[in-house]
Amino acid sequence: MISLDSVRELAPYQDQPAQLPAGANGKVGVLRLGFARRGDRTILADLYRQSPLLVQRALYWDEEMPDLPCVMVLTTSGGVLQGDRLRMDVDVGPGARAHVVTQSATKIQEMDANYGTQIQSFTLADDAYVEFLPEPVIPFRRSRFVSHTRVRLPRSATMLYAEVLQPGRKYYGDGEIFAYDLFSSELRAERPDGRGLFVEKFVVTPGRFPVARLGVMERFHVFGNVVLLTDPERAARVHERTAADPVWDEETPLATAVSRLPNDAGLIFKVLGRETEPVRAAVRAFCVVAREEATGCTFPPAFSWR
C-alpha cells in the first residue's frame, strides 16, 4: 500500500503515540467501493471495508435521481486519531452514477504524537458521474493531517467534489481557530492515460506562516472548495450560470468566485465565510447548477437535520 509517511511536511512528527502504534491493527481504515450500471440504475457492486472506516449499504434516497446509489461513509472511532492511516478507493463503471457523503463532520482529533493520513482514489469510466460531498472537516488543536486524492477520469465522465474546511472547534472553550499544527491536502486529476489535468496542493501550518492574514484567509474562518471535473461543453454551461457574479458580501460576510481549471479540466469554485452555514449554502448552490448541467436533474431539498 502506498503510504504518505515520507511526505516532507510530516518530517517533524515521526514520533509514536503512547497508545496503539501508528498504522497498527484497528488504525488502518480501508474502504473499496465499486459502482456499476445495472439496467436503469446503478448498484454498489463491490464493497470492502475495514474499521475504522465503515459503509453499510447503498440507499436510494434521492427523489430527483431515483437511480442514484447514495453511500454514507462512517467512522467507528469518532474522527481521525493520531496514527490513523485511511484509504478509500472508489471505482465508477461505464455509465454508472454515485453519490458519496460522510455521516458527520470529519473531526481530526487533538494530537500529541504522530499524525493521521488519508489516501483517496476515484476512478471513473466513460460517462460515469460521481458526487463526493463530505461534511466539513474540523482540524482540532495540534492536529496533523495529510490527505492525497487522485481522480482519474475520461473526458465524458463527471466528478463533483466539494470540501468545507473549518478553522477548528470555533465555539469550543475559548474558541479554537487555526490552532492545528498541519493540514495538508493535495488533489490531482488526470486522464486514464496518466496525462495530468491539474493539481491543487496546500500545506497549511498556521504556526509557521499565519493563516489569518491578507491573501490567505483574510478575515474569514471557513473555506469551501468545489471542483467540477467535466467536459468543456458542460463546464461552459455551468460557468455561464455561476461565474459572472462573484460575491463580495461585507455583511454576512461571504466571498465567492469561479475559475476555469487548466487543460479544460473543468471549474473550481472557492468560498470564504466566517460561519459554516453561509459557506455550505454557497457550495450547495453551485452543486445544484453543476448537477443540473451534468445530468439534467436537480438536487432535492436538503434534509432539514443535515
Residues of this chain that bind other proteins (CB under 8 A): 8, 184, 186, 196-204, 209, 211, 213-218, 220, 223, 225, 243-246, 248, 255-263, 268, 270-272
Q: Compute the distance between CA of residue 166 and CA of residue 27 in angstroms, rounded to an integer.
A: 24
Smallest separation (angstroms) from other proteins to the CB of 261: 6
Smallest separation (angstroms) from other proteins to the CB of 204: 5
Which CB atom, from 127 or from 186, has the smaller least distance to other proteins? 186
Which CB atom, from 123 or from 225, has the smaller least distance to other proteins? 225
Residue 123 DSSP code? E
Which CB atom, from 40 or from 245, has the smaller least distance to other proteins? 245
Smallest separation (angstroms) from other proteins to the CB of 221: 11
* Secondary structure of 137-163 as H, E, C letters: EEECCCCEEEEEEEEECCCCCEEEEEE
CA 235, distance to chain mean position in Å, is 20
Smallest separation (angstroms) from other proteins to the CB of 256: 7
Closest-CA residue to 34 (of 117, 126, 130)? 130
Category of 26 on φ-ψ map: left (φ > 0), alpha (ψ -120 to 50) or beta: left
C-alpha cell at 150: 487522485
Which CB atom, from 94 or from 253, has the smaller least distance to other proteins? 253
Smallest separation (angstroms) from other proteins to the CB of 164: 12
The H-or-E segment that residue 284 falls in is: helix 276-295
Smallest separation (angstroms) from other proteins to the CB of 141: 19
Which CB atom, from 2 or from 244, has the smaller least distance to other proteins? 244
Is the peptide bond prior to 232 cis by the omega test (within 30 degrees of 0)?
Answer: no
Q: Are 168 and 217 in contact (CB under 8 A)?
A: no
Which CB atom, from 114 or from 184, has the smaller least distance to other proteins? 184
Smallest separation (angstroms) from other proteins to the CB of 242: 11
Q: Compute the distance between CA of residue 80 and CA of residue 94 in angstroms, rounded to an integer.
A: 33
Residue 80 DSSP code? B
Which CB atom, from 95 or from 192, has the smaller least distance to other proteins? 192
Q: Compute the distance between CA of residue 292 and CA of residue 131 in angstroms, rounded to an integer.
A: 12
